[in-house]
Structure 1
Amino acid sequence: MAEGGSQPPVINVQLPAIIVNYKEGTRFAGDNVGQKTDVRAAEIGQIVVPTVGNSQAEATELQHDSIPTVFKNSEEDKVKRSSSDKGSNDQTPTGPSPRDVTDNPGRSDVTDNLGRMNLTEGMHFVTYENIRRLINDSKFVDALITLQDIPTSQEQQFMLSECYCQLGRPDKALRCIEALQSIMTSSSRPSVDDVIKLVDDYIADSSHIRALILLSCCAKLYKFGSNPNSSVVGIMYCSWKCWNVIKSLAREGGKMKVIARDVGLIIITDMLRELRSVSGADKNTMVDMEAGCLTHVGFCYDEFGKYKEAIGFHNEGLDLINQSFGSNAIEYNVYGKLLNNIGTAYEKLGDYSKAESFYLQSLDAYEKVENWPSDKVKQASIATTKQNLKDTRNKMKK
């Protein structure tokens, strides 16, 4: 105990952000003998809470009744001492836990109770909002630095994927997209319909990179569906939306076109693999959806001037239908579309004679199709191929 002075001296015990001033007469067991300290609530004279910018805040007198109940203890709540605590005069612990004060000065009942409060979500909300602001301001490096220091989550991997795309680091972007897919297809999977709605919102907002990333996850989610037919239809639908997103990015040019090529082509090709891995679907549905997906993959390669690769995907679709349906293959409208698409690729390659041949085959197939969704779709498809044939023949005359 301190000696002398007209005012009773106090002993300051520093806890995280709180100074507790004990009245003179409070007894403490000596640290040298490894004993612990008990202090009665009545012996707390003052609690000093430092304010921002002022570590020496004024002490505020507290009535004992104002001490939170978590700190209060009655005489009946006395804690029995072990043999190592002999010599301690006060046996009723109040305020900070004796174990915490002696063994771990950085902790107290105050911090323990704060730790049990759900503050993490609030902190994450603020962090993510700051990161979103950085991304929206195109400060991708700054956002990346913060993202790398926070726990792995859907939001973190989603934002990391976008940042790496924007920074021209497709390999890391694809790794983050793969991690995001794993998280989203875990036991607590989101509704694929909800994710598709979010994709549509991003497309409407021209946030095509975000839409592309989420579409890759949607294909995975569809695969986990209980109905194989619905799964393959869903994945084919994702490939169609993905093609439109890739086309939009490519036509923006510059960095966006590079992202569409280096990330988008891999994503849509992966969708094709996912569709092919689905088992149990009806044969006709499976073939139709796979051929449709091959069409969309081919369109994407065509968009980047990879015409030979595009022809390869379209030919895969033709082979699939021929092998599955034989002489009846021509009855499926996707068959005529694939022929038209091959003709378009050859026209862009400058091989007009081959282009003309495939356009004519396409028109012949269209006339024999029995599964058109509507007459409007039939007439539109025929009109497109006829125009392509006309353009090709005009080029052949030059």
Structure 2
Amino acid sequence: MRLFSAGRRPTEVADDGTITGAVQVDPRTKDLTKRLRPGDIAVIDHADLDRVAAEALAACAPAAVLNAAKSTTGRYPNLGPGILLDAGIPLIDDLGGTVMDLKNGQSVRIDGAEVYSDQELVAAGVLQDRDSLAANMAEARAGLSVQLEAFAANTMDYLNRERDLLLDGVGIPVVRTEFEGRHALIVVRGYHYKEDLAMLRPYVREYHPVIIGVDGGADAVLEAGLTPDMIVGDMDSVSDRALTSGAEIVVHAYRDGRAPGKQRVEDLGVEHVIFPAAGTSEDIAMLLADERGAELVVAVGTHATLIEFLDKGRAGMSSTFLTRLRVGSKLVDAKGVSRLYRTRISTWQLFLLAVAGLVALLVAIISTTAGQTFLGLSGAWWDDLWNFIKHLFGSS
């Protein structure tokens, strides 16, 4: 039996694979990962578990993940379940809504695909493994053609609704942040955003771009030791700390003017402007920077591919497709820049290089008169120090 503590009641993993520990429950995975501790049992309700959410869960090192929904529904080949399996985290799927009735801190026992509380069966689902994952992925890949057809139809619909915004900039709000002649760095919490943002630090120091955090991207900016100049989004995943950091706030609203995030920023007493648009928050951030005269738009973590948009649960990606056509040559997509070049020098090679350098230095010292004199003086100094220490402790 293995034990590890989550800072609460220790979690037990028996030799037969049975897991006993305390649960942490939240239907919103991104909210759960903010308080999930190593050894907790995560309880989520996340259909088509996406890569970003799975990476956040894996980083918290839970003892297991219980999903009320199907982690792969067959719509598309999502990467989340594979990430959890690669991390060695058991994933039990399709447990149903009853598992969400568990209370935070409640102790449960997981036996295969069944979840018990006080010897009573709470729910039973499907324990994912490599074989089931491969079967799910094969089925999901067959569904991509349907999604692609839906996106094509969505593109024409979006163009009809947002023609004035895309072509003439109608509806883009006036902001106090000065973009004219400057670069704009737009940060979204997408794939590899942390690594890419770290790689761009020299660029930020040299060009001092306007930094725009899209919702939780604002917290990513703060975590990187930078300060956002502007925060754009519906304000559902950004922290109060970021919203009160002094950045200008642009609340993304529906086309009819309804803005769910407006009440939150008003409660914080933060000044803001409203941007009604049917696209995504990262799209309107690009349109805003372009319309207000940004010389270059650098995007980190943004979503551009079919899989990425399906991962985000978007109904379509037409807004991003057309926005990128509008921004055109100004746009530099920095997503994945951290993977463009990775050093091939291992830690062992660096150690050998350091040893070789020290040996070369020692040989150079020994082979010169000045070096020999230095070694003699150093030896005499160490002798004097050693004699002093012996005398000091001997006299005491």
Q: TM-score, normalising length from structure 2?
A: 0.23
Structure having the larger proportion of residues in helix: 1
Relative to total residues, which structure has the larger strand share, 1 or 2?
Answer: 2
Please identify the structure whose Cα radius of gyration is greater.
1
The structure whose RCO (Cα within 8 Å, separation 6+) is larger is 2
